[in-house]
Amino acid sequence: MKILNEWLKNQSKHHRIMKIKQSKPDFTKIRKKDEFRIYSYFLSDTLYPLAGSTISAGFPAYAENFKTEPVSIDKFLVEKPESTYIIQVSGESMIDAGIFPESFIVVDTSIKPVNNAIVVARYFDEFIVKRIKIFPDHAVLVAENANRNYPKIHIDETTDFEVWGTVVGTFKKLK
């Protein structure tokens, strides 16, 4: 029995996941030279027609034949208004994840960060958006841009780091 208990104790050590500190955003902790804009939004009752099929980028399809129930864009992007904020992105570190310079990301503070999620975080005095990889004793923040070699950011329990929300969507106006 003693051997079994010892084995179980060792197994729990190996299957432990690093606890990621999560808190509400406190923008006073960000260095002042960083420029960022937080946007408030409001939910509207505006509904837009939604074509009932996907669209081909090659052959024209007639949307009139595929109309379904209308969709509210803000209700589609914002599931929990009380815990959601929108912020505009600068920089190119996440373009392979579909997050481009000048696009907006929708961030939900109520969602716990999980492995492989895209998170908004405070890393020391910087405000960043990266994909998080969570391991038993550390986490790694990873940029997603194949054209540039951004360094990985290694996080352990002693790092001055906290997640300020999980990215749930993005949007950008085409020019």
Query: Does one domain contain both 105 and 35?
Result: yes
Query: Does one domain contain both 28 and 55?
Result: no
Flag whether 140 is in a domain: yes
Query: Does one domain contain both 128 and 161?
Result: yes
Query: Does one domain contain both 64 and 126?
Result: no
**Tell me: the pLDDT tens digits for 71-122?**
777 778 888 888 888 888 988 999 999 999 989 899 999 999 999 999 999 9
Res. 138 pLDDT band, cuts 50 70 90: very high
Contacts (Cβ under 8 Å, ≥6 apart) of 89: 99, 100, 101, 102, 103, 104, 105, 129
Flag whether 111 is in a domain: yes
If you average pLDDT over residues 155-162, what whole number do you get?
92
What pLDDT, on the 0 to 100 scale, is given for residue 11? 47
Q: How many domains does the chain have?
A: 2
Query: Does one domain contain both 27 and 64?
Result: no
Strands (DSSP E) found in the chain: 38-39, 84-88, 104-108, 118-123, 126-134, 139-142, 153-155, 161-171
What pLDDT, on the 0 to 100 scale, is given for residue 87? 87
Among positive and negative, which fits the CA dihedral 174, 117, 140, 30? Answer: positive
Flag whether 109 is in a domain: yes
Residues forming a β-bridge with 91: none
Report the chain's mean pLDDT, rounded to a whole number. 77
Active-site residue set: 93, 130
Question: Which CATH number covers residue 82?
Answer: 2.10.109.10
What pLDDT, on the 0 to 100 scale, is given for residue 40? 52
What pLDDT, on the 0 to 100 scale, is given for residue 121? 92
Query: Does one domain contain both 27 and 102?
Result: yes
Query: Does one domain contain both 37 and 52?
Result: no
What pLDDT, on the 0 to 100 scale, is given for residue 35? 47
**Tell me: the pLDDT tens digits for 4-53?**
445 445 544 445 566 777 776 766 665 554 445 555 555 556 555 555 54
Query: Does one domain contain both 53 and 22?
Result: no
If you average pLDDT over residues 55-76, what whole number do you get?
64
Buried b (16+ CB within 10 A) or exposed e, 38-52: eeeeeeeeeeeeeee
Query: Does one domain contain both 110 and 152?
Result: yes
Query: Does one domain contain both 55 and 115?
Result: no
DSSP string, 62-87: -GGGGB-S-B-HHHHH-S-GGGEEEE
Flag whether 133 is in a domain: yes
- More confident of the two residues 163 and 37: 163
What pLDDT, on the 0 to 100 scale, is given for residue 8? 46
Task: Supply the range of the domain harboring residue 109.
Answer: 17-41+78-171
Query: Does one domain contain both 136 and 62?
Result: no
> Can you tell me the distance from the alpha carbon of 2 to that of 15, in angstroms, rounded to the nearest whole number?
20
Query: Does one domain contain both 36 and 118?
Result: yes
Flag whether 12 is in a domain: no
**123 half-sphere exposure, CB direction, 13 A CA radius:** 17
pLDDT above 70 covers what percent of the chain? 63
Contacts (Cβ under 8 Å, ≥6 apart) of 147: none
